[in-house]
């Protein structure tokens, strides 16, 4: 099956909004074994939109649109597609009920123009919107082709695609596709590639990497007549990747969105540990990342933000003379911060971070990117020195990830 994506919105063309919808859909289509050939962005102009839809239908079996499903005058995607196909939009009673119920849940009055969100061509297959007011739809476009409409907001599009559109598209596949995602931290993309090059050149299963800050995620996909057949093909390749990459693999999952924070919370729960943070350069980001995980309240007790030296002394009990003697950016201060947070919050493990995120403040002895993590349990205290590169945002993000990785490793150590 060949697919194209047509993203609708002048705000995308002007760079006012990042086109994360295309990134998400491209990734999901790949996981379904659907080949994506083109991604197009078009402004809020009906004639130009019809031109792009016509071109896409000439080249693809499925054309996925994002945006333009709302009630305002610039929400024209369904109308343009219907005109191109020579069809009329009609009111779907079930869609009208869903729109009215959505407004009722929000406690907002519904103006009549919102009924446009419940209008589709009579032969459409509707996709419910569990997080907004505009339903999506799959519209037959002749010769076995389809136009699939999705709302623009990612918080609405993503669950709609996964819950309703993906099962719809799977009906057109001849084989069962299964993907596993191998999450790696602490090893660069080029190193991963050099270790796995021969596996990446395979056909079935296929192994494809993509990167984010400090991380590499491998998508391992196999096809078979049944899910069991496909998983049987995945197992030996997954095992070989684990063998070659070692403990840099922090998780293997069917869920591409699994994060290191998810793994840390799970590891702490399994260990029966509580955790606290004491943060300087990250300003609370470590704690915030942990509490983004549902169920974090079972293990996260709290955090101290000790950005200035005086706060380190007042809140974490770091001795002033230690800061003066060793420097605030030092292993000794990181260790004292972690010990102070553990004692004050009464947790099983605490993690701290102190360092220089830049762009100013660096010295030859302590250049920008110098960071120390501290970890403290009842049995021991240890530190992790880091030499990070990049701008301020990247250094802080990498510090958070290194702190999470240190927590994960500690929670999994049998003798920690």
According to DSSP, residue 112 is labeled G
What superfamily in CATH does domain 2-170 come from? Answer: MoaB/Mog-like domain (3.40.980.10)
What φ, ψ does residue 43 adopt, rounded to 5°?
-75, 180
| Count of other CB atoms within 10 angstroms of residue 142 | 9
Q: Which CATH number fits domain 176-253: 3.40.50.1220, 3.30.70.1140, 3.40.630.30, 3.30.70.2860?
A: 3.30.70.2860
DSSP string, 63-95: EEEES--SSSTT--HHHHHHHHHT--EEE-HHH
pLDDT truncated to tens, each residue of the chain (416 aa)? Answer: 899 999 999 999 999 999 999 999 998 898 788 889 999 999 999 999 999 999 999 999 999 999 999 898 777 999 999 999 999 999 999 999 999 998 998 898 999 899 999 999 999 999 999 999 999 999 999 999 999 999 999 999 999 999 999 999 988 876 778 889 999 999 999 999 999 999 988 889 989 888 889 999 999 999 898 889 999 999 999 999 999 999 999 999 998 889 999 999 999 999 999 999 999 999 999 999 999 999 999 999 999 999 999 999 999 999 999 999 999 999 999 999 999 999 999 999 999 999 999 999 999 999 999 999 999 999 999 999 999 999 999 999 999 999 999 999 999 986 44
**pTM for the whole structure:** 0.81
Residue 70 corresponds to which tokens in the numbers above? 């709302």
| Count of other CB atoms within 10 angstroms of residue 349 | 23
In whole angstroms, give the CA distance from residue 393 to residue 135. 37
Which long-range CB contacts under 8 A does 133-140 form with residues at least 24 apart? 133/70, 133/99, 133/102, 133/103, 134/69, 134/70, 134/99, 135/69, 135/92, 135/95, 135/98, 135/99, 136/69, 136/160, 136/164, 136/165, 137/78, 138/165, 138/168, 139/81, 139/82, 139/85, 139/87
- The domain segmentation of the chain, as residue ranges, is 2-170, 176-253, 260-412
User: What CATH number should be reported for the domain whose range is 260-412?
Assistant: 3.90.950.20
């Amino acid at each position: 099956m060949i697919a194209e994506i047509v993203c609708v919105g002048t705000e995308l063309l002007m760079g006012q909004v990042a086109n994360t919808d295309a990134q998400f859909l491209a990734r999901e289509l790949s996981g379904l074994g659907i080949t994506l050939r083109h991604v197009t962005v078009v402004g809020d102009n009906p004639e130009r939109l019809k031109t792009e839809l016509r071109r896409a239908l000439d080249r693809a079996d499925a054309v996925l649109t994002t945006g333009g499903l709302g009630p305002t005058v610039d929400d024209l995607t369904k109308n343009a597609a219907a005109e191109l196909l020579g069809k009329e939009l009609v009111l779907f009673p079930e869609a009208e009920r869903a729109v009215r119920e959505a407004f009722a849940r929000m406690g907002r009055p519904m103006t009549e123009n919102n009924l446009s969100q419940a209008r589709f061509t009579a032969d459409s297959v509707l996709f419910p919107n569990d997080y907004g007011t505009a339903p999506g739809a799959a519209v037959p476009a002749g010769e076995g082709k389809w136009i699939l409409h999705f709302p623009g907001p990612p918080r609405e599009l993503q669950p709609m695609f996964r819950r309703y559109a993906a099962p719809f598209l799977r009906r057109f596949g001849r084989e069962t596709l299964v993907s596993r995602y191998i999450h790696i931290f602490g090893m660069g993309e080029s190193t991963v590639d050099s270790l796995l090059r021969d596996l990446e050149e395979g056909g079935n299963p296929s192994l494809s990497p993509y990167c984010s800050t400090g991380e590499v995620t491998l998508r391992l996909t196999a096809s078979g007549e049944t899910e069991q057949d496909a998983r049987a093909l995945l197992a030996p390749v997954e095992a070989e990747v684990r063998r070659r990459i070692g403990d840099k693999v922090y998780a293997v999952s069917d869920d591409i969105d699994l994060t290191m924070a998810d793994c840390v919370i799970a590891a702490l729960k399994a260990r029966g540990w509580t955790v606290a943070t004491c943060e300087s350069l990250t300003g609370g980001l470590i704690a915030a990342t942990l509490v983004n995980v549902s169920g974090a309240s079972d293990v996260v007790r709290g955090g101290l933000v000790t950005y200035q030296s005086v706060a380190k002394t007042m809140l974490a009990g770091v001795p002033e003379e230690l800061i003066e003697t060793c420097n605030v950016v030092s292993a000794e201060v990181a260790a004292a911060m972690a010990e102070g947070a553990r004692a004050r919050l009464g947790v099983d493990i605490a993690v701290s971070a102190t360092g220089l995120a830049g762009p100013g403040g660096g010295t030859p002895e302590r250049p920008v990117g110098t960071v120390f993590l501290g970890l403290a349990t009842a049995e021991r205290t240890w530190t992790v020195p880091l030499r990070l590169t990049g701008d301020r945002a990247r250094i802080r993000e990498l510090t958070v990830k290194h702190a999470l990785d240190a927590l994960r490793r500690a929670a999994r150590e049998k003798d920690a």
